[in-house]
Amino acid sequence: MSARRQIQTKRTEEGIALLISIFILLLISIVAIALIVASGTESSLAGNYRSATGVYYAALGGLEEARGRLLTNSASSFKSTAPAGFLPSPGTALQLGYVRFVVNPGPGDGNVLTTYLDNNYLTEFTAGPSDTKTTASIWTSPPLNTSLNFPGPLYKWVRINAVSEQWLRQGLGQDVFPFDGTIDPTPLFYDGTKLTDDPSSGSQVLEITSLAVLPNGSQKLLQYLIAPGPIALPPFLATLTLSGSPGNGVTFHAPASNSSYAVKGDDYNCSNPPAPSGGNPHAAIGVLTDSNSDIVHVKNGIPTAYQPNYTGVNNPGPYVPDVEDISSSFLPLSLQSPSNLDGLAQSIIQNADAVVITPASSGTPPYLGTATGAALTPLGMSSTNPLTVIVNGNLDISNWSSDGYGLLLVTGTFSYDPDTNWYGIILVIGQGVVHNSQNGQNKQINGAMLVAKTRDLNNQVLAGSNLGGATVQFLDGMGGTGMRYSSCWIQKAQPKGKYKILSFREISQ
Amino acid sequence: MNLAPSDERQHGFTLVELLVALGIFLVITGAAFSLLGTSQKHYQTESQLLTSFQEARLGLDQIVRDVNDAGYPPPTFWDGVQADSASSPFAWSTGAGYPPPGSCQIGTGGGGTCTTATAGDTAPGDFDLIIETNPNPQDPSCVPNCHVQWIRYQLQNTTPLPTLMRGVSAKTNGDPDTITAGQLVPFVQNIVNTQVVQNVTNPLVAQYQAAYPNIFPGGAPVPIFSYTCDNSSPPPQTVLCLGAVGTDNSPANIRDVMITLIVAAPLPDATTGQPRLVMLNGRGRRINPNQ
């Protein structure tokens, strides 16, 4: 027993080392914890900044996707990828109360419109949406979510809707041009410089709003107002505009044996068949020239008996046929140089819905290939789907018994026969030659046509400041009822530029 | 009775043993406390620096947000009322040509023509910026309706170290420079980007700058705000405003605002006595159009 006590006594005397160890360990632990807390705060500060920046760009990614897909010539445009009726048909505005969503759910999000409610809409508008349609984001559609499996931005949805004067200034309303003193509940438009509520003077303004939510809960709501930037077209001062200049005479030859062939500058509407609208009349044939001999030359191309068919702004009177020199009002005057007019054609080409490329020809200069009407058929043009179509080369639509809608730009020779109605704008800028090889049926061109020679036989832009002489040469026996000016169809056929950002803001939540 | 075990139990430590044990204990404890003391000083310094960092980070975030929103709503929303839309994303003094189509040239080091009523200060400039925007249009507390505001960031010389001030006032027909000047309140303290603030030299900043030659190459001041502008001549690109020519170098044309905040901890390092600095960089990008 005494031996055991002795051992116990010795054991208790050894405890001082343990105590010191525990004490030191405690001190070190305190220091370590303090350092960890300090560095943890620093890390979370940096983390907050990273997630705030990340969520900002995620929301911006959503806005940019919607802005890009609104373009009709985008590969993943809403027109070709979204359900029918997602966007209104060209020429008509998205109604107020109609709301379109691009949804981009992440794993486990389910229906993002219920998981992440759109609380913002009712703060901007007094009533909820009257019509809602959704489409998938490109990030949740093939090939990005299948074969490529590319992780996209973490935005949840993008809302697209129309805005009105009532919406402006946070729902308090604001009168915009034309200042009529009333706060209208109608869609807003953009005319290139300012907002307006006049639908005839610009493109519709759309509001797009994007919500991004990161897994750590960071949220961001960003908003754009956007509208297509207008592409400046040459002014349409006449139903048929022809280029001419001193030394480069213009050629016009009407069908001599067709009493029905008429070129009328009176304004026609968009009904089918087009009827006089009572709008401002324009010249029947306008010539860009400062030489009276060009005017006389064009008049001489019209059979005397049928000259009363060419009516326009100065009708009735001594101006029948109504062939006029419009060079002084064809503004800006700089457009009457080959390089500027050709440059304008190039800007239209860059924003076209479809470009038909013709193979180079080994025949005669300017070695342009020829496309036929068959190249236009697959485009699916219709009165509700007018397109901007470019033919880089010659176009021969003889015997093409379909109708065309929109803007047609031909850089080579345009062979037209009246088997086709064209509704919209026809620009023949480049070689500036129009003729026919078939007499065709009794159809017509509704809108306006401009024929200008800006290139020489080697397809090089003409040097100097004078346009070449346009050539419109129809066979005597050609059918058709000619051309009618239609401001309505000219408006519908306007090409759309890229969507411009009119305003941007971050919405506080 | 056998007393031997009892005698053994009474054997304690000798005095020498006790002194040695106590000595060892004191050495270890002293070392531990000294470590603790050093750590505490470090912690104190670090936490002060962290507070400065946190203040500067919050400030930087706010500046970036304001710059991102600059110019809302743009001039295309014009309804005839000055305060309903921004005339330009970034404002300058009426004396220097505000509003558009008037303009001024952005400079650095007090150069350029965007001068203000304060000597040695230009807005927009290296240490002064006036943003024109409607910062929170949907805030329900913004009654009856928030108009466009001028938000100004200006570096002022305060004691002991300069302070970045922030002020907000409603856009009117008056001078953005003089109207916002009366609204400025401290925003981020202890900014040491420059020794000379509005023509007044702060001697303490010189010590800070001398201790960190890498942050201040050649002892030159580091602008808080530097700018890029849209280049109008093709190809379209963004260039430093200082290198832009003609009207490209103007406040209305600013695209990015690069922000550099160099912030000092309120007290120097407790162990070394060296000043402690932290540098933060950010960038705000104006998206709203300027016309």
Summarize pLDDT for A141-169 with one digit per residue, the tens: 888 888 777 788 999 999 999 999 888 87
Residue A1's pLDDT band (boundaries 50, 70, 90)?
very low
**Which amino acid type is present at position A166?**
Q
Cβ–Cβ under 8 Å, residues A315 and A281: yes
Contacts of A87 (CB under 8 A, 6+ apart): A70, A78, A79, A94, A100
Exposed (0-12), middle (13-18) or buried (19+): which is A64, by Cβ within 10 Å?
Answer: middle
Least confident span in A433-447, A476-490, B38-52: B38-52
CB burial string A276-294: b at 16+ within 10 A, e below: ebeeebbbbbbbbbebeeb
Q: Residue A221: name the closest of A367, A63, A450 by CA.
A: A63
State the Rg of chain A over Cα. 34
Give the start-end residues of each E strand in A234-277: 238-243, 251-253, 262-267
pLDDT of residue A335: 86
Residue B141's pLDDT band (boundaries 50, 70, 90)?
low
> Mean pLDDT of all residues in chain B?
88
**Alpha helix ranges (H) inside chain B:** 4-9, 15-68, 176-181, 203-211
What percent of chain A stands above pLDDT 90? 43
- Judged by a CB distance cut-off of 8 A, whether residue B97 touches chain A is no
Residue A2: its chain B contacts at CB < 8 A? 5
Dihedral pair phi/psi, residue A89, rounded to 5°: -70, 155
Chain B nearest-CA distance from A156, in A, is: 21
Residue B134: its chain A contacts at CB < 8 A? 505
Cβ–Cβ under 8 Å, residues B131 and B175: no
Indicate the residue of A502, A506, A507 with minimum beta-carbon distance to B74: A502
Q: Residue A411: name the closest of A447, A368, A376 by CA.
A: A368
Q: d(Cα B270, Cα B41) in Å, to the nearest integer?
A: 6
Specify the residue for token string 């960071």: A218
Cβ pair A503:B289 closer than 8 A: yes
Cβ–Cβ under 8 Å, residues A415 and A394: yes
Cβ–Cβ under 8 Å, residues B180 and B167: yes
Could you tell me which residues are beta bridge partners of residue A385?
A: A382
Q: Identify the residue with better confidence: A43 or A289.
A: A289
Cβ pair B84:A38 closer than 8 A: no
SS3 assignment, position A69 = helix
**Which amino acid type is present at position A299?**
K
Q: Is the pLDDT of residue B218 over 90?
A: no
Residue B47: its chain A contacts at CB < 8 A? 38
Q: Got the DSSP string for A106-133? A: -TT--SHHHHS---SHHHHSSS--SEEE
Residue range A117-133: mean pLDDT, rounded:
90
pLDDT tens readout for residues B20-75: 989 988 998 898 888 888 888 888 888 888 889 889 999 999 999 999 999 998 98
Cβ pair A506:B47 closer than 8 A: no
Q: Residue B22: name the closest of A128, A146, A255, A20 by CA.
A: A20
Q: What share of chain A is helix, strand, coil (3-state, %, to 5)?
A: 25, 30, 45
Counting every residue written for chain A, the total comes to: 509
Cβ–Cβ under 8 Å, residues A58 and A154: yes
Sign of CA dihedral A410, A414, A418, A420: negative
Least confident span in A291-300, A401-410, B170-179: A291-300
Residue B131: its chain A contacts at CB < 8 A? none
Residue A491's pLDDT band (boundaries 50, 70, 90)?
confident
> Mean pLDDT of all residues in chain A?
87
Chain B nearest-CA distance from A454, in A, is: 24
Tell me whether strands A496-507 and A219-230 are parallel, antiparallel or unpaired.
Answer: antiparallel
Specify the residue for token string 């603790």: B36
pLDDT of residue A319: 66
Indicate the residue of B5, B54, B77 with minimum beta-carbon distance to A45: B54
Which strands, in side-by-side order, build the sheet including A203-204?
A195-196, A189-190, A203-204
Q: d(Cα A322, Cα A312) in Å, to the nearest integer?
A: 6
| Nearest chain A alpha carbon to B39 | A31
Q: d(Cα B162, Cα A322) in Å, to the nearest integer?
A: 77
Residue B6's pLDDT band (boundaries 50, 70, 90)?
low
pLDDT of residue A103: 96
Secondary structure letter of residue B218 according to DSSP: G
Counting every residue written for chain B, the total comes to: 291
Residue A210: its chain B contacts at CB < 8 A? none
Indicate the residue of A5, A176, A501 with minimum beta-carbon distance to B289: A501
Q: d(Cα A489, Cα A270) in Å, to the nearest integer?
A: 6
Question: What ipTM was estimated for this complex?
Answer: 0.79
Chain A nearest-CA distance from B165, in A, is: 22
Contacts of B218 (CB under 8 A, 6+ apart): none
| Nearest chain A alpha carbon to B54 | A45
Q: Is the pLDDT of residue B291 over 80?
A: no
pLDDT tens readout for residues A173-220: 788 888 888 888 899 999 888 888 888 777 899 999 999 999 999 999
| Nearest chain A alpha carbon to B146 | A169
**Which amino acid type is present at position A473?**
Q
Residue A499: its chain B contacts at CB < 8 A? none
Dihedral pair phi/psi, residue A496, rounded to 5°: -105, 130
Cβ–Cβ under 8 Å, residues B215 and B193: no
- Judged by a CB distance cut-off of 8 A, whether residue B287 touches chain A is yes
Residue range B244-250: mean pLDDT, rounded:
89
pLDDT tens readout for residues B110-137: 889 999 999 999 999 999 999 999 887 6
**Which amino acid type is present at position A138?**
I
Q: Identify the residue with better confidence: B16 or B254.
A: B254
pTM, full prediction: 0.75
Q: Is the pLDDT of residue A9 over 60?
A: no
Contacts of A107 (CB under 8 A, 6+ apart): none
Q: d(Cα B73, Cα A168) in Å, to the nearest integer?
A: 10
pLDDT of residue A100: 96
pLDDT tens readout for residues A226-267: 998 878 788 899 999 999 876 678 999 999 999 999 999 999
Specify the residue for token string 């509003």: B99
Q: d(Cα B16, Cα A181) in Å, to the nearest integer?
A: 105
